[in-house]
Amino acid sequence: MVILAIETSCDETAVSLVEAEGTFPDARYKILGDALFSQIDIHREYGGVFPAVAKREHAKTLVPMLEQALNAAGLSETPTLPLEHATQKEVEALLEREYDLKDALLAFYASHGKPPVDLIAVTHGPGLEPTLWVGINFAQALGKLWGVKVLGINHMEGHIFSSLFQSDRIAPIEFPALTLLISGGHTEIVLMRDFGSYELVGQTRDDAVGEAFDKVARMLGLPYPGGPEISKRAEARRSAGKVAETAFPRPMLGTNDCDFSFSGLKTAVLYHLKDRDITDHARDEIAQAFEDAVADVLVGKVKRAIEETGAKTLVLGGGVSANTHIRRRFTELKEREYPDLGLYLPPARLTTDNAVMIALAAYARKDELAHSLTADGNLSVSSKTA
Ligand code: KG4
Ligand code: ZN
């Protein structure tokens, strides 16, 4: 079957077309089309994502993304230009064009006798509710037009699937599996006893780890999103053999649970910076010291969760799992302490938000009945506590 997936939970407008066949979890996937427009350049001048601006941009960009994806998949007759080779001017022209997508899609229907897709999947949370609604309404309109089922998919479940995706299949993992979900809005450890069964083991009590990266970057005068900027600076020091001189606290590392807290760490950086010159040297050094503290806490809590649950597999997911130092620390944890643990890190292309991951997760849920869709900014992937 061909799945059309739509992702608009934050600042990436993404549409993918994925063909899937076989019985999940032994299914085979083929990415037919994957169109993504990142709003990062637009939000950078505000220092973060502005929901109203994000909503407007999603509304503007969804139709061209759908066209891109349909064309890449050979499922539409209207030629458009491949975004990756387009100049900024051409992209702008594309976004401003007037579309008659309805006619194009109906023409497809008329010539093929069926809609171009068999299932529509859309992120319905967690994320920014105004932007989630843009995707949901778009998905529902297409569903009505084509008479195709629309399923709401949890964004965090999508991140788990993207970490497990191996070119054409979902890795055959051993359960129980732990997933560490680290993104701009989430920091949680979730226990999976099977696909679709998620139990919360621990979570942040305040800021998400990506949020802490972004806030610390802002304190250092670095642009949004802060994660990649901090990582670049910290890695430059590490590859020069330098060790951080500053030691920031490791919040909640010693507590008898798997919860996190990152707001204290952020405040510690703020106090450290008070009455100091923020030189380039200070930026690099603090970036490294901050990453060291974050990685210690993440690794420490995951270790505790492995001991408590007897997990056989560890999956890292979410935007922050792109971080080189965090990936290295978890690779070392496996090699040194848990050689039998299956460790899954997302491929670089799928670490940040995308619509392929929504299609992957949707195929596992393809037999679910269509349900009424509402945007839920706080939608949780886990129902109960382990
Ligand atoms: O999953 P994601 O793309 O969006 C959400 O669902 O939130 O995650 C975005 C977050 C941002 O906070 C960004 O700073 C962080 O992921 N991030 C990183 C890196 N790349 C992205 N954090 C640390 N190191 C990175 N290399
Ligand atoms: Zn995400």
Tens-place pLDDT, residues 256-284: 999 999 999 999 999 999 989 999 999 99
Q: Are 384 and 200 a contacting pair, CB within 8 Å?
A: yes
> How confident is the model over 81-106, as a mean pLDDT?
60
Nearest ligand, measured from the Cα of 128: 1
Tokens coding 283 = 């930026």
Do 231 and 325 meet the contact criterion of CB atoms below 8 Å apart?
yes
The residue to mutate among 124, 183, 215, having the most atoms of ligand 1 within 8 angstroms of its beta carbon, is 183
Query: Which residue, 233, 178, 168, is CA-closest to 26?
Result: 168
Whether the model pTM is above 0.95? no
pLDDT of residue 97: 57
Predicted confidence (pLDDT) per residue in 338-364, tens digit? 999 999 999 988 999 999 999 999 999
CA 144 to chain centroid, in Å, comes to 28
Confidence of residue 386 (pLDDT cuts 50, 70, 90): very low
Which atom of ligand 1 lies closest to the CA of 185?
7
Q: Which ligand is nearest to the CA of 225?
A: 1
Give the residues surrounding ligand 1 with Cβ less than 6 Å away. 10, 183-185, 210, 213-214, 225-228, 231, 318-320, 322-323, 352-353
CA-angle at 49, arms to 208 and 185, nearest 5°? 20
Q: Whose CA is nearest to atom 8 of ligand 1?
A: 319
- Return residues with CB closer than 5 A to ligand 2 (ion): 183, 353
Q: What SS3 class is residue 305? A: helix
d(CA 94, CA 88): 10
